[in-house]
C-alpha cells in the first residue's frame, strides 16, 4: 500500500512537472506559434506589369517595407492592406488585383521581421507598422482620411481594428480574422491558462465596439483555421453600420474561390465610398 501511494505521488508529480514545462514552452515560444514570416520576395507588382512604388518607413529604430500600387485609372479610394501571419507582401498580389480591378490604390506593408522589414514581429510592432503606413498615406501623399479603407485579413484584422480605434477611415473590412488570440489559444490549448501567458493579445473583440466607421465582416463557415464563430462574435460586437458576408472554402482560399466575393466588397465600398465623378 505504501509503495502504491509513493508511485501515485510520483506519477502526479511528473504530470504536474510536464504540465508546468509545457506552460513554460508556450510562454517562451508563443511568438513562433503566432508569426510565420518569410524574407524572400518571390514576386513584385512588376510581375503583373503594374506600376508601383517601394516605401520604407522608420519605425521605432527599425524599417518597415511596403508597396504603393496605384489604381490603373482615377482612383475611387485607397486600401490600406494588412496581411495574415504567414509569408510576406509578395504572397498577396492576387488579393491586391481584386482591389485594383475595383479601381482602388493599395498600400500593403510587411510587419517587422517579414519580407524586407527589419526587426521582429510582435503585437506592438504590428500596431506601429500600420500607423506608419497611415501616416504615409495621410501626410506624405495627402490622401483624405475619408478616402482610405482599412482592410485586414486573418492576423491583419488585429492591427486594422487597432488603427480604426485611433483614426477615422471611410470604412474597414475584417476578413477571416479572430476575436482575440486568447480565444484562439483557448480553442487550441483548452487545458492551459493561456490568457495569463499571452504577450501578444490582439484583443479585437474588445476594440470593434469603439469603432464608428462602417464595417464589413467576411468569414467562411468552412474555415478550419479560424472558426466561423470568431467572425460572428466580431460582427455582433460591432456597431452599425455593419454588414456580414459569407465566403466559401477554407481559410486561405475563400476569397479566391467565392465568385461573389469581389461584388460583395464592391457593393459595400460603393455604399460608403461613392465613385468620383469624372
Spatial neighbors of 76 by CB under 8 A, at least 6 apart, are: 102, 103, 104, 269, 273, 275, 276
| Cell numbers found for residue 253 | 482560399
27 by Cβ neighbours in 10 Å (0-12 / 13-18 / 19+) ranks as middle
Closest to 175 in 3D by CA, of 159, 152, 197:
152
| Cell numbers found for residue 81 | 492592406
pLDDT (tens place) for every residue of the chain, 278 residues total: 566 565 655 555 545 544 445 445 555 556 667 899 999 999 999 999 999 999 999 999 999 999 999 999 999 999 999 999 999 999 999 999 999 999 999 999 999 999 999 999 999 999 999 999 999 999 999 999 999 999 999 999 999 999 999 999 999 999 999 999 877 766 555 544 455 566 778 999 999 999 999 999 999 999 999 999 999 999 999 999 999 999 999 999 999 999 999 999 999 999 998 655 44
In CATH, 37-272 is 3.40.50.1820: yes
Q: Please confirm, yes or no, whether 154 is among the known catalytic residues.
A: yes
Catalytic residue among 83, 217, 230, 251: 251
Catalytic residue among 82, 90, 95, 154: 154
Catalytic residue among 223, 238, 245, 272: 223
The number of beta carbons lying within 10 Å of the beta carbon of residue 267 is 13
What is the residue-wise DSSP string for 203-225?
-GGGTGGG--S-EEEEE-TT-SS
| Cell numbers found for residue 248 | 466559401
For the chain, the farthest-separated pair of C-alpha atoms sits apart, in whole angstroms, at: 91
| Cα dist from 17 to 6, 13, 205, 244, whole Å | 16, 6, 34, 45
pTM, 2 dp: 0.87
Angle between the N-to-C axes of helices 157-164 and 123-135, in degrees from 0 to 180, rounded to the nearest 10: 60
Q: Please confirm, yes or no, whether 223 is among the known catalytic residues.
A: yes
Q: Strand 104-109 to strand 53-59: parallel, antiparallel, or no bridges (unpaired)?
A: unpaired
Amino acid at each position: 500500500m505504501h509503495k502504491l501511494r509513493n508511485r501515485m505521488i510520483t506519477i502526479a508529480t511528473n504530470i504536474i512537472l510536464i504540465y508546468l514545462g509545457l506552460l513554460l514552452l508556450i510562454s517562451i515560444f508563443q511568438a513562433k506559434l503566432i508569426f510565420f514570416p518569410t524574407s524572400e520576395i518571390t514576386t513584385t507588382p512588376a510581375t503583373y506589369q503594374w506600376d508601383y512604388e517601394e516605401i520604407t518607413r522608420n519605425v521605432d529604430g527599425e524599417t518597415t517595407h511596403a508597396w504603393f500600387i496605384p489604381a490603373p485609372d482615377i482612383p475611387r479610394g485607397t486600401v490600406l492592406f494588412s496581411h495574415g501571419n504567414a509569408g510576406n507582401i509578395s504572397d498577396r498580389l492576387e488579393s491586391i488585383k481584386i482591389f485594383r480591378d475595383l479601381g482602388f490604390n493599395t498600400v500593403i506593408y510587411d510587419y517587422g521581421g517579414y519580407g524586407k522589414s527589419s526587426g521582429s514581429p510582435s503585437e506592438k510592432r504590428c500596431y506601429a507598422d500600420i500607423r506608419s503606413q497611415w501616416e504615409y498615406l495621410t501626410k506624405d501623399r495627402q490622401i483624405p482620411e475619408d478616402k482610405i479603407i482599412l482592410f485586414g485579413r486573418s492576423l491583419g484584422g488585429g492591427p486594422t481594428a487597432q488603427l480604426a480605434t485611433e483614426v477615422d477611415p471611410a470604412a474597414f473590412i475584417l476578413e477571416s480574422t479572430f476575436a482575440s488570440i486568447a480565444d484562439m489559444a483557448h480553442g487550441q490549448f483548452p487545458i492551459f491558462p493561456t490568457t495569463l501567458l499571452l504577450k501578444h493579445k490582439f484583443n479585437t473583440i474588445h476594440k470593434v465596439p469603439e469603432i464608428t466607421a462602417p464595417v464589413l465582416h467576411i468569414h467562411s463557415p468552412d474555415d478550419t483555421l479560424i472558426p466561423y464563430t470568431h467572425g460572428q462574435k466580431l460582427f455582433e460586437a460591432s456597431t452599425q453600420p455593419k454588414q456580414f458576408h459569407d465566403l466559401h472554402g477554407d481559410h486561405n482560399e475563400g476569397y479566391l474561390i467565392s465568385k461573389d466575393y469581389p461584388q460583395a466588397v464592391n457593393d459595400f465600398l460603393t455604399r460608403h465610398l461613392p465613385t468620383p465623378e469624372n
